Amino acid sequence: MVFSEVVDASDEVARTPGRLAKIARLAVLLGALAPDEIEPVVAILAGEPRQGRMGVGHAAISTASSGSASPGGKPLTINEVDAAFDTISRLSGAGSTRSRADTLGALFARASDPERDFLRRLLHGELRQGALEGVVLEAIARAASLPAAKVRRGAMMSGSLVAAARAALTGGATSLEAFGVQLMQPVRPMLADSADDVNQALEDIGEAAFEYKLDGARIQVHKSNDEVRLYSRTLNDVTSSAPEIVSLVRALPVREAIFDGEAIALAPGGAPRPFQVTMRRFGRKRGVAELQPDLPLTPFLFDCLFLDGASLIDEPQERRMGALRDLAAALAVPRVIRPSRAEAEAFVTGAIARGHEGVMAKALDAPYAAGRRGSAWLKIKQARSLDLVVLAAEWGHGRRRGYLSNLHVGARDPSTGAFVMLGKTFKGMTDAMLAWQTGHLQSLEIGRDAYTVFVRPELVVEIAFNDVQDSPIYPGGVALRFARVKRYRSDKTAADADTIDTVRLLAGYPSEG
């Protein structure tokens, strides 16, 4: 299949408001794929190449996409794009930066203008086409003439939407049913939706358990006799990053088990350290415990998915909690089961007083299912916010075409008077906000390129976020996690914006000032 067919389908889906219409359009595309095209196309439609980020930075993408296009000859195919990504992802060592840029430049040179725009957004991680993973999953099910629940279960058991897609589209239900819970094969994690407060959570869930909402690193722990392996939220093996957790789990009185939980760095008094401090323990080589003896990790387990040869995935939450309590009570997250409304409110207050994000509310009768499954798990937490300055905005796509949508936001540097970019966000905006900011930001324009309008740093916006993390992309070395717009602050000037020192302190770093 030629690459332009994927680009055209993505663009059409972005312009289509109805979920069912999106699913139908993607199902047509998926049904026309050759077997070796399924995995790269499904990964792209879900928003990221199957090779991941590939070490390609903003500067390299900008340079490659600004070169002259000379498509000519045969059109690009899906397999050619995927092969170029493979080449880029394998490059390492001396000269790899140049080779990566050459490969990327050659790919962009062969692409048409719509393809170049698509590639740029894909590689930036900003492919907002309305084809979220849930929509792609349902499109796979329709193209394969299967219930979406079967595809969803296959993706959870295999740990991979693209693997489930290939199985569904080439082997049908029989191939999907071959996927099962296996030790040392991580399953895709169950995720939570949000609730405003305890009242909403109890109304949506009914009989529930409440437990601390920890802002740590999600871990899935597999134990087979003395072998213990840890997997991250993205299913990467992170065993070597947490030897102390391996030792604790190895000592549990169980032969085979799979647990779900969080790892978090605690201060001496037991308060949680910032998320970014915990994450310093991951991605490092074995021996980090000796290199950072003052930064031990503590596991808090909250689910049991497998026990001595039997899957507990389909068992109700209360049964799984009971198995965890019987096996590893000392490692279990603090929780209360079937609290009254007053008891639940007190539990939330206590969790926040101890420095945690908030609480999770979990339906006691719910099975374990990958992704966000309705209101089975709900998080109740207090979002933090900063007053930041808008530095630029990118033109939107799909239903936001014609509007300035993706905001570049920055914090004030008191030592220079300049502004330090912390990231981009297009979330949280109403239609009225989009319309207003499109006009107002153009009145502040100081320059533009094909995608972005750069503005005088005058407009203050309140940005809610979950935490602050390290960033090799942005000049301050930090970025906001899950940033979204709350409101514009017409009552504040840029001189009133929060400083980069404040942001760095939230990340657990000392102020540079």
Looking at residue 357, what DSSP letter applies? -
CA distance linking residue 390 with residue 72, whole number of Å: 40
The pairing of beta strand 358-363 with beta strand 208-213? antiparallel
Q: How far apart are CA 378 and CA 196, in angstroms?
A: 9
Q: What is the mean pLDDT of residues 38-44?
A: 95
**Lowest-confidence range among 279-283, 297-301, 462-466?**
279-283
In this structure, are residues 14 and 130 in contact, taking their beta carbons and an 8 Å threshold? yes
State pLDDT tens for residues 324-359: 999 999 999 999 999 999 999 999 999 999 989 899
Question: Are residues 317 and 366 in contact, defined by beta-carbon separation less than 8 angstroms?
Answer: yes
Question: For the residues 226-249, what does the mean pLDDT come to?
Answer: 94
211 pLDDT tier (thresholds 50, 70, 90): very high
Question: Which position has the token pair 């595309």?
Answer: 29
Q: Are residues 26 and 72 located together in one domain of the fold?
A: yes
Provide the pLDDT for residue 139: 96
Query: Mean of the per-residue pLDDT values for the chain?
Result: 89
In-domain check, residue 253: yes
Q: Let me know whether 396 and 455 are in one domain.
A: yes
> Residues near 388 by Cβ (< 8 Å), separated by ≥ 6?
409, 410, 411, 422, 460, 461, 462, 463, 497, 498
Task: Check residue 269 and give its pLDDT.
Answer: 87
pLDDT reported for residue 72: 65
Range of the domain at 149: 3-177
Quote the CA–CA distance of 479 and 467 in Å, as a whole number. Answer: 9
513 pLDDT above the threshold of 50: no
Kindly state whether residues 328 and 339 are assigned to the same domain.
yes
Domain CATH number, residue 347:
3.30.470.30
Per-residue pLDDT averaged across 43-62, rounded? 83
Number of H helices, E strands in the chain: 18, 21
Question: What's the total number of domains in the chain?
Answer: 3
Confirm whether 185 is domain-assigned: no
In a domain, 512, yes or no: no
Active-site residue, from 150, 213, 223, 381:
213
* Tokens encoding 465: 């976020």
**Same domain assignment for residues 157 and 198:** no
Distance CA 453, CA 271 (A): 43
- Token output for 437: 């900011």
Tokens 């059409």 map to which residue? 12
pLDDT tier at 288, thresholds 50, 70, 90: very low
Do 357 and 460 fall within a single domain? no
| Out of 19-33, 164-178, 463-477, least confident range | 463-477
State the CATH number of the domain containing residue 492: 2.40.50.140
What's the residue count for the chain? 513
Q: How far apart are CA 331 and CA 304, in angstroms?
A: 12
In a domain, 151, yes or no: yes
- In one-letter notation, the amino acid at residue 373 is R
Question: Are 121 and 222 members of one domain?
Answer: no
Please check whether residues 376 and 390 belong to one and the same domain: no
Tell me: do 169 and 71 sit in the same domain. Answer: yes
- Specify if 14 maps to a domain: yes
pLDDT band of 293, cuts 50, 70, 90: low
Residue 182 located in a structural domain = no
Average pLDDT over residues 206-223: 94
Distance CA 161, CA 167 (A): 10
By percentage, how much of the chain surpasses pLDDT 70?
93
Confidence of residue 285 (pLDDT cuts 50, 70, 90): very low
Same domain flag for 96 and 29:
yes
Please identify, among 177, 212, 241, the residue that sits at the C-terminal boundary of a domain.
177
Q: Cα–Cα distance between 169 and 210 in angstroms, integer?
A: 40
- Residue that is written with structure tokens 């799979």 in the block: 258
**Are both 422 and 479 inside the same structural domain?**
yes
Return the pLDDT at 290.
46
**Could you report the per-residue pLDDT of 152-190, keeping only the tens digit for each?**
999 999 989 999 999 999 999 999 999 989 999 999 999
Residue pair 219/266 in contact (Cβ under 8 Å)? The answer is no
Do residues 274 and 328 both lie within one domain?
Answer: yes
pLDDT tier at 283 (50, 70, 90 boundaries)? low
Model pTM? 0.74
DSSP states along 239-307: GGG-HHHHHHHHTSS-SEEEEEEEEEEB-TTSPBPPHHHHHTTSSPPTTHHHH-TT--EEEEEEEEEEE
Query: Is 213 among the catalytic positions?
Result: yes
CATH number at residue 149: 1.10.3260.10
The per-residue pLDDT for range 355-399, each reduced to its tens digit, is: 898 999 999 999 998 876 667 999 997 767 899 999 999 998 877
Please tell me the predicted confidence (pLDDT) of residue 202: 93
| Least confidently predicted of 87-91, 297-301, 501-505 | 501-505
Residue 82 placed within a domain:
yes
Given 381, 416, 440, the domain boundary residue is: 381
Please check whether residue 116 lies inside any domain of the structure.
Answer: yes
pLDDT at 97 over 90: no
Do 334 and 430 belong together in one domain?
no
Phi and psi at residue 69, in whole multiples of 5°?
Answer: -90, 135
Question: pLDDT digit string (tens) for 406-430?
Answer: 999 999 988 787 899 999 999 989 8
Contact, 470 vs 477, CB < 8 A?
yes
Best CA proximity match to 23, nearest among 130, 117, 120: 130
486 to 64, 356, 410, 460: CA distances (angstroms): 35, 22, 15, 11
